Amino acid sequence: MPDASDDRDLLSAFVTTKDEGAFGEIVRRHQSMMHAVAFRICGNPHDAKDATQRALIAFARRSGEIRAEPSVGPWLHRATTLEALAVRRQRIKRSIREHEAMEQQHLQTESMPPEIAAKLDEAINGLSSKDRAVIVLHYLENLTFRSIAKKHGGTEAAWQKRGVRALEKLSGTLRRRGVVATGTALGTWLATSPAEAAVLHPGAIKVMLNEALRQPLTTGLGSQSSATLLLIMKLKTTLALCFVGGAIFSYGWNENKGSAAREDEELAVQRSHSPRIQRDERNAPTFNLEQVANAFRRFDLLEKVSASEQSRLRALMFSVPESYLDSVLDLFDDLENPDRFSEIAACFYARWAEIDPEAAWRAALKEDMYLTEARRGVMLTWLNKDPEAAVGAMMENRSDEEDLLVLHEFAMMKVQHDPAGAAHLVDMLAEKWPRADRRLFEDVARTWAYNDPSPAGAWVESYWNRDIRNEFLKRFAWRVGSKNYRDGFEMANRIDDPELRQRARCSALEWWARPWAVIPGAGDPDLNFSSGFPDDWNLLEMTAYTSGLMRNNSKNYPDVLAVAKNEAERQAVYRGAIDGAVYSKPEAVIHAVENVDQNFISTDAGRDAVSAFITRWAERDPKAATAWLEAQAENPKTALMRQSLSSQPNKQSNVSE
């Protein structure tokens, strides 16, 4: 096993030779952290151990894909977190299945409660025709799903699935009428409910027929008269149906044409950065429940989802009056394709939250089909109205992954027009939900810093974790510094680690490095320093600017050299020129190589830069590079370059890598 101070050598040994000792050492170093992470998520040692083992198995399988870093701890932390969440989900699902099985076993020994029996058939009657059919045929008439499929078409699996969905819809309908019963319980009660058939006497049947047909029937009708009567009855019925059906079709055609035309005139759905829930205040349509119900049915029966129809329905949801909330909620229960209504449901719950966020949240928590969409719709609206109350309600009934996505979505919308408000939301989460605080902090800070660096930097500087704070400030320094190095300096100056602060200032200058800044009279006058480097720059920062400039603008070497006012500044320019020109035209900075101080190659960075200079030049023009080097006097610099050039194939390989 390699004796390594960090994990890179251990990881390399395991990847290349499958060294069990290296793998064991990595496990020894990080297993305590992994088990602690898993235990926090799973809540018990058995599941924590299982999750830790899964994460280590994943590490062993994917070790070749892991980037070499001093520590694999961050990778193992993420892997452990994901595996622990998966274990916890499996445990919850298993508990639910066991609970349902126990509930069903218990229910089979009990009769249906009277309050459910009183409202059950009325609720069944309110289901769609197909859902009602499967309830009646399978649960009330005891037909198997196979026999139903054989008689009515379709597959056994499809009818079985419809049966489960129908029970859940029935459960939802009963719940809105004040009776709570799960789909599993309803299925058990329906299947075991006693049903005694009342046998009708033939005479009673005759009486009913007479009453129904208003025409006496005798048992002595011959085959001819019976057939004639049936033919007349069939003809009358057919004509009546044709007349009524034609009238309905005509009315429906004209009504649909007029309705569609009115909708096209009334509805203009706004396209925004969050189009799925965003409302359009300018074109809110007048609410008409019948029109909404027709739109639901039309969209539900489309063979292919229509984006325009979906947009119309989303807009309609934002016009629902408070008195119609329950009626519209019922429309979501009678659908053939409920999956295509998820975003529409989110808009409905968002509208409900506009009216009464607390009531909307309570309803969302009881939602079965659209739980995720309902929580999202309510929270995005409530957070905008009263973030403190919304966060408090979320913490009481938190769904980690789903709510984290909602908070992130809201924060990224908020930071665009109210960054201070987004920052306030993150600060609220710092104590209540550290994980959400950490994730939202990074994204809000990045967006805010790029748009308005000064207040964003002040907010980041106040973050409670020093390491995270300094790392973000360093990262943001070069990002905002690439637009204006002074903004990058302001961000970097907030770092309380001197060494890290210096690196951040240099990074900002390297990424900025505008060529016009050293040309007299060019570019922005406030950022032009052709008459001399700024007073707040040190020599390292002059080197960083020159290096960044030479990477793409080596032709400006004479311009930047002219800015230097003394030997120390010129040496800083030489060092930066050699380091940066390697990536463009090394021959453009021959003067810098010839004049840089011999002490430059006493550092690893200096030796690498000089070696890369001659190697890169030799790749571009070997004759010129060799001729120039042969003409140079013998000194430590030229000796180093000759040594590098003599091993040029190896150096070339290293440079290309």
252-269 average pLDDT score: 37
Q: Provide the token pair at 274.
A: 């969050």
Instruction: Determine how many CB atoms are found less than 10 A away from the CB of residue 410.
Output: 23
At 82 the pLDDT is 86
Q: Provide the token pair at 220.
A: 């002595």
Please check the confidence at residue 54 and state whether its pLDDT lies above 70: yes
At 193 the pLDDT is 55
Q: Residue 237: CB partners within 8 Å, gap ≥ 6?
A: none
**In terms of DSSP H, where are the helices of 497-603?**
498-512, 539-552, 557-563, 567-581, 590-595
At 192 the pLDDT is 60
At 571 the pLDDT is 95
Of 205-214, 236-245, 615-624, the least confident: 236-245
82-104 average pLDDT score: 76
413-428 average pLDDT score: 89
Looking at per-residue pLDDT, the higher value among 461 and 230 belongs to 461
Cα-based distances in Å from 458 to 450, 496, 536: 13, 13, 21
551-575 average pLDDT score: 94
At 566 the pLDDT is 95
Instruction: Determine how many CB atoms are found less than 10 A away from the CB of residue 80.
Output: 27
DSSP-derived secondary structure letter, 178: T
Core vs surface per residue 530-546: b (16+ CB within 10 A) or e:
beebeeebeebbbbbbb
At 202 the pLDDT is 53
Topology at the third CATH level for domain 114-192: Arc Repressor Mutant, subunit A (1.10.10)
Q: What is the dihedral of CA 68, 73, 78, 79, to 10 degrees?
A: 80
pLDDT band at 5 (very low <50, low <70, confident <90, very high): low
Long-range CB pairs of 301-309, under 8 A, 24+ apart, other chains included? 301/336, 305/340
At 230 the pLDDT is 39
Average pLDDT of the residues of the chain: 79
Cα-based distances in Å from 558 to 325, 551, 553, 628: 74, 15, 11, 20
Q: Provide the token pair at 475.
A: 């990262």
Of 77-81, 167-171, 238-242, 546-550, the least confident: 238-242
Distance from C-alpha of 434 to C-alpha of 431, rounded to nearest angstrom: 6
At 439 the pLDDT is 81
Check the CA dihedral 172-178-184-190 and report its sign: negative
What predicted TM-score, i.e. pTM, was given to this entire model? 0.49
pLDDT band at 587 (very low <50, low <70, confident <90, very high): very high
Topology at the third CATH level for domain 7-107: Rna Polymerase Sigma Factor; Chain: A (1.10.1740)
